[in-house]
A and B are shown apart, each in its own frame.
Chain A
Amino acid sequence: MMRSTTSHRRSLYAALGVAAILALWELLSLVVNPAIMASPVDTAKALAGLAWGSRLWVELLITLKRLVIGLAVGAGAGLVLGVLAGMEGRVRSFLEPLRWAGMTIPAVIIAVLAMFWFGLGDFTVIFIVALIVWPTMYVNTVSGIRSVDPKLVEMGRVYHFPRRLLLGEIYLPGIASPVMAGLTLSTGIAVRATVLAEVLGALSGIGHAFYRANSNLDAPQLFAWIVVLLALMAVIEFGVLRPLKRRVLRWRKEAG
């Protein structure tokens, strides 16, 4: 009962936060030149036009496909390399310069370099996203593996757990929490990277549509694409990541 009341109160405050943003936006649109600041109503009209003409769904699907593949490749590579590096110090030392470079080189430089190598298109965007995403997942996984309780690992060795069982019963459940945190961070990074890559290195997708709206000085459409991006993030976070986290870490809830 108490949990439910707290949850309702949080939802109420979140709704108030959204209302405050909308009010501020409306206020700004009244005082700023409408050519550079569309009002919420004009943005909603532009959004309805995009949805009605099916352009919204086409661009959204293109972006979603690139985002999902780029995230899967980047986060997957980060997870696998992170497990290997977490369990073996030599692999960690070997990968350290690559991790450092991956986290240090600005995303825009990776994007420009990828365009220089591969031209414009799907592969370029996916390559950029994967390359920007992997270090975050890698770092979270390595730190997760290294913080797995050594007493549990010792128990596994005493009972002669084979490598498969050590990994499946001790290491992977032990890193579930930092990996989920890494996946949430990586997804946010991947969305930003996808849009950046589409602005610079693609002729389709939400990023490119945003770029075109900007070139055409079409403020309502520009803001409409921002709303689409926010909606996409909300669906991913509340529709996919949070339920996944609840499922993966459900033993914590069951255990009270």
Chain B
Amino acid sequence: MITFQNVSKAFDSLKVFNDLSLHVATGEILGVVGPSGSGKTTMLKLITGIVPPDTGTVTVAEGAVGYVFQEPRLLPWRTALDNVAGSLRAQGKDKAGARAAAAGWLERVGLAGFEGYHPAELSGGMAQRVSVARAFAVEPRILLLDEPFSSVDTVLKSSLMDILESIIRERRATVVYVTHDLGEARRLADRIVEIVPRRGVRELGA
């Protein structure tokens, strides 16, 4: 469950949200669309807590948060396995346990055999799959997807979406899926909202 209550947020003089109220029910997949710079990523950062609201409150259910960024954001000096294991170690898991679980998730996203590869040795699509594995490895109650397929080609996008969709349905996490592609949002989301720049959101249905 995620609730924005009368949230306002500005960066210097640039107002991003003004009195935003929004509720995402537990297990719901919310699609968020809007033009570039409208505040889609800021909305996700408000949910993670790394950006605080100026006024109002953001309430998020207890539990782990998984985040798939626009770009993979993998540690270049760590292997694919240790990139996934890192998020688990942050949860307090020991190194061996984290690695075992990470190997399972890499297999799940089709990267069995690539555990020892460094990010620079992987293609863009493979690196993004590692990022997806990292997000699911933490067993997230909340999953935040920030245009995760914007940098991969159409064929790869479709196969990545298949992987993502099957895991999301199985895990029943609450998902906020940010995209500028309404078609993508329609495929995954239960409900879609559009961000209206400098104001709040408008329901677009599903």
Contact = CB atoms under 8 A, between A and B. Distances in A.
A73 to B, nearest CB: 28
A251 B75 CA distance: 11
Interface in B5-55: 48, 50
Given A155-B73, A158-B65, A255 B90 contact: no
Interface in B52-85: 65, 67, 69, 71, 73, 75-78
B73 A151 contact: yes
B119 interface: yes
Q: Give the dominant DSSP class at A's interface.
A: helix
A242 to B, nearest CB: 19
B105 to A, nearest CB: 14
A255 B120 contact: yes
B77 A162 contact: no
Given A165-B86, A165-B89, A251-B77, A155 B69 contact: yes
B2 to A, nearest CB: 15
Contacts of B91: 160
A152 B73 contact: yes
Interface residues on B, range: 20 to 34
Contacts of A256: 120-121
A152 B69 CA distance: 11
Contacts of B118: 251, 254-255
Interface residues of A, number: 20
Nearest to A248: B77
B75 A158 contact: no
A170 interface: yes
A154 interface: yes
B77 to A, nearest CB: 4
A173 B77 contact: yes
A157 interface: yes
Nearest to B135: A159
Contacts of A152: 73, 75
A161 interface: yes
B123 to A, nearest CB: 13
Given A152-B75, A155-B73, A159-B138, A255 B86 contact: no
A176 B65 CA distance: 30
Contacts of B48: 157-158
Interface in A215-256: 251, 254-256
B174 to A, nearest CB: 16
B87 interface: yes
A154 B50 contact: yes
A162 B86 CA distance: 11
A88 interface: no
Given A155-B69, A159-B138, A255 B76 contact: yes
Contact of B87 (A154, A159, A251): A159
Nearest to A156: B90
B106 to A, nearest CB: 17
Given A165-B90, A254-B118, A158 B67 contact: yes
A96 interface: no
Contacts of A162: 90
A159 B90 contact: yes
A173 B67 CA distance: 23
Name which of A154, A157, A170 has the most chain B CB atoms within 10 A of its CB.
A154
B118 to A, nearest CB: 4
A150 to B, nearest CB: 11
A254 B119 CA distance: 10
B86 A161 contact: yes
6 contacts: A151-B69, A152-B75, A156-B90, A159-B65, A173-B75, A173-B78
Interface of B: 48, 50, 65, 67, 69, 71, 73, 75-78, 86-87, 89-91, 118-121, 134, 138
> Which 9 A-B residue pairs are closest in the complex by CB-CB distance?
A255-B120, A255-B118, A251-B77, A173-B77, A155-B73, A159-B87, A161-B90, A158-B67, A159-B90
Given A156-B90, A169-B78, 15 more contacts: A151-B69, A151-B71, A154-B50, A157-B48, A158-B48, A159-B86, A159-B90, A159-B138, A165-B90, A169-B86, A173-B75, A173-B77, A176-B77, A251-B118, A255-B121
